[in-house]
Structure 1
Amino acid sequence: MQIEYHQLTPPASEPLTLEETKAWLKVDHNVEDTLIQLLITTARERCEAITGLSLMIQQWVAYLPYWPMQPQEDWWDGVREGAFAWQIAQGIPLRHGPVRQIDDFTLFDGDGNGSPYPVEYYLLDKARDLLVLKSSAPTPKGERVINPIEITYTTGYGTVPGVIKAGLLKLIAHLYEHRGDEGNRIPKDVLGLWQPFVRVKV
């Protein structure tokens, strides 16, 4: 099953201020403030694309065509006869974490009218960024032809880890020094700093 993830609300701030970035770059004038602010945003977006993280507070939505099923058995020895027994999947991955909270869990009928899935039937596993159904939960079902299930959630760090910020500063300095160059790649030392945080394949 293909789950689609879309950003609803972008971050309202950046992980680095203009002042601390200019201090890192050793820039003591205001002529290039607009450029440096752009580089801060660019570095944050590159980091998020590489790691799969949300560095700052933002809102995402997951669109599901249906609620997935999974085999009741965790393994198969290759000789079993007969059909597998299936059950509803207990967890749905919520990408672009860390996930702070689930804002809405909505099921849409055939006319496009949404109704909330009862909050008492699910919880957020923050350690794994999963929406988890409780054992007593009924199968979430919608009837809308396209994406009948929508899950809206808020992501982002309260405090961005220092290692990530160090990588951002290094990348900004690289982009600043090599602005205008074609094929400008992210330095290996920056990727090395971010590697422990990667949640998606580069």
Structure 2
Amino acid sequence: MALKLTTAPTAEPVTLAEAKAHLRVDVADDDLLITNLITAARVHAENVCRRAFVTQKWDLYLDSFPKYTYYGVVPGYVPVDQLPSGWLSMRNYAVRFRGGKIDLPFPPLQSVDAVKYTDLSGVVQTLATNLYVVDNISEPGAITPAPDTYWPDTQNRVNAVQISFTAGYGAAAAVPAGIKAWILMRIGALYENREEVLVGQRLVVADLPFVDGLLDPYRIAGYV
């Protein structure tokens, strides 16, 4: 699996003016430094949360489409509607209907812009939008084959599948307040401490335990 950022965010969740107000800086001498600190803090927060904040576009590359699985076993292409009806009525039997799903990182997922693949003849094809279903409610978002369809076969090569998608909360104003508060505090720490270590006499360094907790509601536990 490989990921490529194709369109970076056009704005940061925190503006230069907001950061300077938080830092109580009135002059323009450090504007470039503070601007760079905003970006550094945002990237750190996105990595911690495994999210995208302001709208951005990505390409996800896979070596092939996933296969349907039941209990983690690949039994062949057997759609759910062709399974014995008795199996589906048994409460103790669970069919992994979404075994063919592809999780898309960096939620929230806004849209899937294109699904391309290299077919068995080596030709790049664009999968019709009616052949897959986009789930932008779950986090992470995902795509699955449309009902009664399967992912197409691909040539045996690296990066045979390319999924282009748009992620993020939207504009900077849509980013949750807790994330913005964490970014401001991280900017403050970076601005006051511009080296890797602190050197001083009788210096006591104490963490503020609530700070990282600001990001807890927005952390994504994991995705493929």
Same fold (TM over 0.5): yes
Deviations 1:59-114 (A, max 9, x none): 1111111111243247xxxxxxxx86244833110001111000110011467542
Partner residue of 1:106?
Answer: 116
The equivalent residue for 2:126 is: 116
> 1:182 is aligned with what amino acid?
V
How large is the Cα RMSD of the aligned pairs? 2.4
Q: Is the 8 A contact 1:14 1:41 kept in 2?
A: yes
Please give the TM-score of this superposition, normalised by the length of structure 2: 0.77
Match of 2:150 among 138, 148, 156: 138
Q: Give CA-to-partner distance per residue, 1:149-176, whole Å, 9 cap, x none.
A: 1101000112100111011111111111
Report the equivalent of 2:85. Answer: none
SS of the equivalent of 2:196 reads: coil
Aligned equivalent of 2:168, options 147, 153, 156: 156
TM-score (norm 1): 0.84
The residue that corresponds to 1:16 in the other structure is 14
Alignment of 1:6-155 (within 5 A): 6-73=4-71, 85-87=75-77, 89-109=99-119, 113-128=123-138, 129-143=141-155, 145-155=157-167
Q: Which residue of 1 aligns with 2:215?
A: 194
The AA in structure 1 aligned to 2:6 is L
Unaligned runs of at least 5 residues, structure 2: 79-98, 199-206
Q: Compute the displacement of 1:188 (Å).
A: 4.0
Distance 1:42 1:103 in 2: 28
SS in 2 for 1:22: helix
Number of residue pairs aligned between Structure 1 and Structure 2: 190
Instruction: Kindly state the Cα deviation for residue 141 of structure 1 after the two structures are TM-superposed.
Output: 2.3
> What is residue 165 of structure 1 aligned with on the other side?
180
Bigger radius of gyration:
2
Gaps of 5+ in 1: 75-82
Change in CA separation of 1:65 and 1:136 when aligned onto 2, cut-off 3 Å: same
Equivalent residue in structure 1 for 2:196, among 157, 181, 187? 181
